Structure 1
Amino acid sequence: MTEHVDEGAAGETSGQPLYGATWGQAIVRFFKKYARFKGYASRSESWWAIASIFGTHLAIAVMAAVLIIVFFRDDVVVVNSEGPGGVLLFPGPSGVILGASLVLQMLVFVVAVVPALSLTWRRLHDAGLPGPMVFLWFVPLAGWFVLVVFHVLPSQPEQRRPEWDDPRDAVPRTSRSPDS
């Protein structure tokens, strides 16, 4: 007997994980559960959101690079410093494009940082780990690698703790699968 969360209109903010979430469902839950640190998040919810954030940052960077390379490549100046290499300067329009892309990158970060932290917190709960392990995010490289590994871990419903449950979801909305 497999139980599935009934994701009706009210279920979009359910504290239960949505296993097999589509991209659209994951993004809706990512923003609707903006700062909810209680409850659980499935791997699909987590990976769709992470891929979307990464893809947005990548798209902004690629668009800026293409614009600079195609239209303003002669505007980029390499200033030789002592020793090997040099410093790239972006005067004129290329500097404006670069600056605008950095502002957009920062805006995406500001909009996504709290929901990403809460999503990771809930994903850790779903994997049977305490949410405060999200602070490994602040340990460069090693912490990020550990969190990626934690995001890959399977769900561990048997390791859930009552204090992790979302009080707004006191009665889980579940339905039996057709095969039961």
Structure 2
Amino acid sequence: MENYQQQGYNPQMPNPETSYLGFVDAVKICFNKYADFKGRATRAEYWWWYLCTVLVSLVLGWIPFLGWAVSVALLVPTLAVSWRRMHDIGKGGGWWFINFIPLVGWILWIVWCCQQSEPMPNRFGPRPC
């Protein structure tokens, strides 16, 4: 246990998988880390952001120029939170490119994004709280 405490693990810290991160907080975090590809993102942060982008696309997607502009504006934070989500489960962000493999890549991506966070600090930093 002493070795884990030296690495920044504190068993008294709230577990990010059980502590609640709401929709608004997750969207704020993603906009604050707009192009930050370093660090880790919890499951809740990733999936709330994904829901936000889907809702925005549904609402604004039918407006020709505005829908395109919003999609372009949300591309970078979507890539960043996806990259950080892979870091949270101990994988490099480059695994995002597996999405280009039809069907199999998407299924694998969804399975990985649904995995729990690593409880200990990993090579990408301490666990997010």
TM-score by length of 1: 0.57
1:46 and 1:173 map into 2 onto residues whose CA distance is 12
The 8 Å contact of residues 40 and 128 in structure 2, kept in 1 or not, is answered as no
1:173 and 1:151 map into 2 onto residues whose CA distance is 15
The 8 Å contact of residues 42 and 88 in structure 2, kept in 1 or not, is answered as yes
**1:87 aligns to what?**
none
**Cα displacement (A) at 1:143:** 2.4
Mapping of residues 25-174 of structure 1, within 5 Å: 25-61=25-61, 64=62, 101-158=63-120, 160-161=122-123, 164-165=124-125
**Aligned letter for 1:115?**
P
Q: 1:26 to 1:128 in 2, by over 3 A?
A: same
2:87 and 2:120 map into 1 onto residues whose CA distance is 11
Q: Pick from 10, 13, 33 the counterpart of residue 3 of structure 1.
A: 13
**Cα displacement (A) at 1:112:** 0.9
Unaligned runs of 5+ in 1: 6-15, 65-100, 167-171, 175-180
The 8 Å contact of residues 128 and 159 in structure 1, kept in 2 or not, is answered as no
Aligned residues: 119
**Cα displacement (A) at 1:159:** 7.0
Q: 1:107 to 1:25 in 2, by over 3 A?
A: same
Q: 1:131 to 1:173 in 2, by over 3 A?
A: closer
Q: 1:173 to 1:35 in 2, by over 3 A?
A: closer
Higher alpha-carbon Rg: 1
Q: Of Structure 1 and Structure 2, which has the larger fraction of its residues in strand?
A: 1
Matched residue of 1:57: which SS? helix
**1:93 aligns to what?**
none
**Cα displacement (A) at 1:139:** 3.2
TM-score by length of 2: 0.76
Give me the CA root mean square deviation: 2.9
1:141 and 1:173 map into 2 onto residues whose CA distance is 30
1:104 and 1:141 map into 2 onto residues whose CA distance is 30
Q: Which moved more, 1:136-145 or 1:36-45?
A: 136-145
**Aligned letter for 1:165?**
G
